[in-house]
Amino acid sequence: MNNQKQQKPTLSGQRFKTRKRDEKERFDPTQFQDCIIQGLTETGTDLEAVAKFLDASGAKLDYRRYAETLFDILVAGGMLAPGGTLADDMMRTDVCVFAAQEDLETMQAFAQVFNKLIRRYKYLEKGFEDEVKKLLLFLKGFSESERNKLAMLTGVLLANGTLNASILNSLYNENLVKEGVSAAFAVKLFKSWINEKDINAVAASLRKVSMDNRLMELFPANKQSVEHFTKYFTEAGLKELSEYVRNQQTIGARKELQKELQEQMSRGDPFKDIILYVKEEMKKNNIPEPVVIGIVWSSVMSTVEWNKKEELVAEQAIKHLKQYSPLLAAFTTQGQSELTLLLKIQEYCYDNIHFMKAFQKIVVLFYKAEVLSEEPILKWYKDAHVAKGKSVFLEQMKKFVEWLKNAEEESESEAEEGEDSP
């Protein structure tokens, strides 16, 4: 029994010793780097062979622990020190992104290498995302050519879904923005991204991570304007991105206008103050009147709790809209604005079933209050209406339209008689 007791610590000690030795050999980043670089040197610049080597090596080497080292090598040729420089005493390889040709086709081929590797070893996804975020923060430490290659590669990887657009957060780093590095990098990145997909796909990816309204942050605070962004990216050959940002800003300004408008109405601010505010916003954000009348209409209709009974809602609507007619009239100075308002009324009455019988009464009210005039009403009736509730609303408007036509004919004949008289 004594012998057995003496043997136990010896056996467990041997196991523990072996495990320690294995750990030391296995978790040495330099040894890991040497293995990868040696393999890449043997495969050469044939990226198909590189992909196969990386696929096979994952079974023997600890990719999970040394993902950062692996991606440093594939991008920069060796392990990166803080700031983005390569350590002088470390092995390097030219089989990497930074040593490759600076063109989109080469970067597309490298993207395939990363794609295959991450598809094969799914656990590398997070490590690769972290690596790219780090590389973007190191941009100042890279040469212009290296930055261009990384930008093109990142654009392709964003397009094929290997990377998530949230990595772009790194570009909003204050120092990178201040020195113009972020904006220049973004040009190359978006060019390759849009080349792979289109602006709609890019926009959808940005929206998914709430990045669609942040692109102007690529510039310092004193240059964060639609005009500066549009000029910079249009001159760089990215007109579609410029237009997208301009539209985003317009949408944002319109939402803000509607929100403020509703608040002013609920407070009961005087119409002259509301009109002045809206006209200033129109000028500042370049919002055309036909768009504004749609916003004003929506705001007016959302300030009241409507009766659920169809026979009572028409009376309630007329009373409410009569009160707001001067406000609406201020933004129907163009025929197109009047037509837009007519279509908004049609859509509203169709979408809110209790209003189906109120359409004609609203239009007549607005005609009498000089919010609407004959010509847009006749045009709407003839061919400018939409399909929603068309047959019901055209039937409602039939007698009023006939009256308008007769009134128009009478005024024309009176005008002719006036011209003929001496």
Q: What is the CA radius of gyration of the chain?
A: 34
CA-to-CA distance for 398 and 378, rounded, in angstroms? 10
CA-to-CA distance for 60 and 36, rounded, in angstroms? 11
User: Does residue 131 contact residue 71 with C-beta atoms inside 8 Å?
Assistant: yes
pLDDT at residue 413 in the model:
57
What does the DSSP assignment read for 319-375?
A: HHHHHHHHHHHTT--SHHHHHHHHHHHHHHHHHSGGGGGGHHHHHHHHHHTTSS-HH
Looking at residue 308, the DSSP 8-state letter turns out to be S
Tokens of 372: 């609407």
Tokens of 354: 């209790």
Closest CA to 320 of 330, 306, 337, 310: 306
| Local confidence pLDDT in tens for the 422 residues of the chain | 455 445 444 444 444 444 444 444 545 788 899 999 999 999 988 999 999 999 999 999 999 999 999 999 999 999 998 888 887 767 889 999 999 999 999 999 999 999 999 999 999 999 999 999 999 999 999 999 999 999 999 999 999 999 999 999 999 999 999 999 999 999 999 999 999 999 999 999 999 999 988 999 999 999 998 899 999 999 999 999 999 998 888 888 889 999 999 999 999 999 999 999 999 999 888 889 999 999 999 999 998 888 888 778 889 999 999 999 999 999 999 999 999 999 999 999 999 988 999 999 999 999 999 999 999 999 999 988 999 988 999 999 999 999 998 876 666 555 555 554 44
Closest CA to 147 of 176, 117, 116, 112: 176
CA-to-CA distance for 422 and 418, rounded, in angstroms? 8
Burial track 308-338 (b if 16+ CB lie within 10 A, e otherwise): eeeeebbebbeeebeebbebbbbbbeeeebb
User: Does residue 377 contact residue 384 with C-beta atoms inside 8 Å?
Assistant: no
Tokens of 362: 């609203």
Query: What's the pTM value of the predicted model, to 2 decimals?
Result: 0.68
Count of other CB atoms within 10 angstroms of residue 393: 23
CA-to-CA distance for 98 and 260, rounded, in angstroms? 51
